Chain A
Amino acid sequence: MVREEVACLITVFSENEESYLFHTPNVRLVRLQAEAMGLPLVETGTAGIKEEELEDLGRALDIAKERYGIDGVVTGAILSVYQAARIQRLCQERSLWCFNPLWHTDQETYLRALCGQGYDVLISGVFSAPFDESWLGRRIDAGAIKDLKQYASRYRITLTGEGGEYETFVADAPFFSRRIEIVTAEKEYENYRGIFRITGARLVEK
């Protein structure tokens, strides 16, 4: 089977923690993830102003195209038409392919697959009811999936947090050569909104 080559990662650092498009909690730590994957990282910043922030992502795509000769982009969009359509347009303008291999995937199957395939995923932010402070830093395991399913049926959150109900941080993955150890972290929480802010982390042997 022919497989695609992953050339680099792309991250946009938003100054606006309420960014419409970009993930913000602990996003600086993508540098450690890139190192664990042995991949170069293209980084750009944005003020995080709605629609204008697209131009900053476009700038990152231009850099990746010039520096690493990318032919296309792969996103992790599952349900968000807002995100998917905007990234599709940016790619189309640059003659880049755009793939969303998780598009409309079965969310429970996806979460269970992560748990069973060696991913270590932590909740790094919560942004809706009924998430309380105990979720900050919680590992997504069978127990967490059970609770998330209850929330999904009772409070109509999306199981994978695709609606921005929660955000995650990947500390280990099957394709990481080393895992990320969280040394220090702080929790900020108030009124169903909170951040698990990782203040110290390092790569360690698995």
Chain B
Amino acid sequence: MILLVDLSYREHSLGYEEFVLPIARIVHGQGEIVSTLHYARDPGKGAAGCDGVVLCGTPLRDNAFLSQREAFAWLAATELPVLGICAGMQALSLTFGGEVFPSTGIGMTDIRVTARDPLLPAVAAFPAYELHGNACTVPPGFLTLAESDRCVQVIRHQHRPVYGVLFHPEVRNEWVVERFLSSFCR
């Protein structure tokens, strides 16, 4: 079972359909059972019995999660594989000591792969859809796996399968979620 965490400013917001359900369809399409939980509903406890966690994105103006750092403290200790998408990557960065800063990216962009990793294919670059009003620094203990002209796009914890991707893989790059599931959650 894979836990999807909704980072929207409140439960059942319009952002749920746009940022959680598309990920749920990809995960379900890989034969996995999907469980969803809002970030304020103690997902650290909800992750018990799960095989992996995906922190979903939020609408461009939805940054309420940034002021709720304690709600993500469980990520520092979890042994589960984690994939943080956009807002999820920002939450990971903050949790592990990084910083979030204003940086707007809307539309398709070129992602340059800078390090080999099971999450990414053996290509030099690929196009991806980004939708962010903030970007983040690479926190201590993490590596940069890919970047765009504007900012770091993919990071990974040095020793654990904990990933952050700033672009939205649900748009034209579903394989990111599929590789995360097949490489670390089975």
Contact = CB atoms under 8 A, between A and B. Distances in A.
B22 A85 contact: no
Nearest to B26: A104
A88 B171 contact: no
Given A2-B12, A92-B60, A99-B15, A81 B21 contact: no
Given A81-B107, A99-B14, A91 B25 contact: no
Given A85-B106, A106-B25, A1 B12 contact: yes
Contacts of B22: 103-105
Nearest to A109: B25
Interface string A98-123: 11111111100000000000000000
Given A81-B129, A97-B59, A104-B25, A92 B106 contact: yes
Contacts of B170: 104
Interface in B18-52: 18, 21-22, 25
Q: Considering residues B12, B14, B129, B172, which has the most beta carbons from chain A within 10 angstroms of its beta carbon?
A: B14
A103 B61 contact: no
Contacts of A88: 60, 106, 131
Interface residues of A, number: 23
B157 interface: no
A101 B59 CA distance: 11
A74 B12 CA distance: 15
A4 interface: yes
Interface of A: 1-2, 4, 72, 74, 81, 85, 88-89, 91-92, 95-106
21 contacts: A4-B14, A81-B172, A85-B106, A88-B131, A89-B106, A92-B104, A95-B61, A97-B60, A97-B61, A97-B62, A99-B14, A99-B15, A99-B59, A101-B17, A102-B17, A103-B18, A103-B22, A104-B22, A104-B25, A105-B22, A106-B25
